[in-house]
Amino acid sequence: MKDFLWGSATASYQCEGGWNEGNRAISMWDRYLHDNHLENGDVASDHYHRFEEDIRMMKEGGQNSYRFSIAWPRIIKNAEGEVNQEGVDFYNRVIDTCLKYDIEPFVTIFHWDLPDYLEQNGGWLNRQTTEAYAHYAKVCFEKFGDRVRLWTTFNEPRYYTFSGYLIGNYPPGHQDLQETVTSSYYMMLASAMAVKEFRNGGYQGQIGIVHSFSPIYGVDSTVETAIAARYAENFYNNWILDTAALGEIPGDLLAELYGRCDLSMMKPEDLELIKSYTVDFLGLNYYARVMIAPYTTGETTLIVNNKGKQAKGTSQTIIKGWFEQVRPESSQYTEWDTEIFPEGLCEGIRRVWNKYRLPVYITENGIGLYEDVTVEQVDDRQRIEFMDSHIHAVMQAKEEGCDVRGYYAWSPFDLYSWKNGTEKRYGLVAIDYEDGLKRKPKKSYYWYRDMIAQDQKN
């Protein structure tokens, strides 16, 4: 398929390094990881210095698109909104290099690395951050919009707010329902504000949002499970997708939150703006489905395994009064408790297309593995099997008539994987962190290249 985008995806903090170069401001992740003496992304994959090598390898690997994020702290110096020309120059070089190699740039405006000067003033709990974000987005459109045709406002706002404000395993490390609701609302408002800037500016191309997509499966067909599934759909998916695509925050979710949370920040003029500026397409990051059962007992419990094999089997989700997650014993799981279930990707695309009728891109899909990268070539056949089954699921949905326009492997090369550090490897290309960050294509790199070549013949 000549018009289908085959690519791979990264995030600025996870790959760039160069944390104190190019007049870059400090991010909330710099502050959090340094203060807590945790493994950090100061160097990461050193994409900041080696992006041309990495993009050239994407091209040699048959890819025709690269999804990457712009680091807000590289573009905007301070709370006054001053533009950092060195940061603009860096991303101009990245974009121009993509075009040099016939790689379509697919740009995410925000992938979690909030400038620390905003975080110190409340971050996404402060309405002023939405205005700062709209300004930052407009700067991106103005500086790069002549060459970028595909934009997304946010990467995984659900995962960001739930991890930072509800589970507490990511910065700012809070566990507060009110803060979760407030930050979630402001991020979705900011997304609509960016869409407004994009539309009013008359920029080329399209703008969407990227969601950490988990299709919901119930354990049975009882009424109780159907009700629990609706709670789970609102919790995992609807408040992002309905708000971004339909311009409506689910009413039954608001009804559940009313009385438990202060919703006074939801101004009528905001809701009108959200209604008026919906996205052009949806990006879905798919790693696994969620199987749920009706709630039985216990307090709300949210445990995410960020320790891999040391904590395998510890992940747990219970939302008191709503639902609880079930992990089928018959399924296969990664060392980080992620179920391997490619059928969920086809079914998920089908559901999203039928509900929203917007083009879909699979903006992330991949598997994290422990790997010895000192060998000449990593034989990552488990990744090949994973990608093959999931790509088949994408193609099945496309053949059924769903408007799927691209698939992006996470990731083109090994990255810093947030709280999982660098031992959790997703890359098609190995990076030897102990040997000068040497790049070595894995077996999956060549498999993906050949699969793309075969598809493009059809």
pLDDT on residue 411: 95
Q: Catalytic pick from 16, 324, 364, 371?
A: 364
Give Cα 160 to chain centroid, integer Å: 9
How far apart are the C-alpha atoms of 431 and 423, rounded to whole Å?
11
CA distance 12 to 388: 27
pLDDT value at position 1?
55
Segment-wise mean pLDDT, segments of 10 residues, the chain, 458 residues: 89 98 98 96 97 98 98 98 98 98 98 98 98 98 98 97 96 96 98 98 97 97 98 97 98 95 97 98 98 96 93 94 95 96 98 98 98 96 98 98 98 95 96 96 98 89
**What pTM did the predictor assign?**
0.97
Q: Which residue is associated with the tokens 């709370």?
A: 79
First to last CA, the chain: 6
Q: Which of 441, 440, 371, 362 is nearest to 398 (CA)?
A: 362
Residue 364 is among the residues annotated as catalytic for this protein: yes
Q: Name 416's Cβ contacts closer than 8 Å, sequence gap at least 6.
A: 13, 14, 15, 39, 40, 41, 44, 45, 422
Rounded Cα–Cα distance for residues 189 and 243 (Å): 9
Listed in sequence order, the DSSP H helices in 249-380 are: 251-257, 268-276, 343-356
Q: What is the three-class DSSP state of 258? A: strand
Q: What angle do CA 399, 400, 402 make, to 5 degrees?
A: 90
* The pLDDT value given to residue 2: 66
What per-residue confidence (pLDDT) applies to 209?
A: 98
- Distance separating alpha carbons of residues 406 and 360, to the nearest angstrom: 8
Beta bridge partners of 110: 154
Residue 24 Cα to chain centre, angstroms: 22
List the CATH code of the domain at 5-212+236-283+343-456: 3.20.20.80
- What are the structural domain ranges in the chain? 5-212+236-283+343-456
Q: Which two tokens stand for residue 157?
A: 């706002």
The DSSP symbol for 115 reads: B
* Predicted pLDDT of residue 457: 81
* Residue 147 three-state SS: coil
The rounded distance, in Å, linking the Cα atoms of 167 and 169 is 6
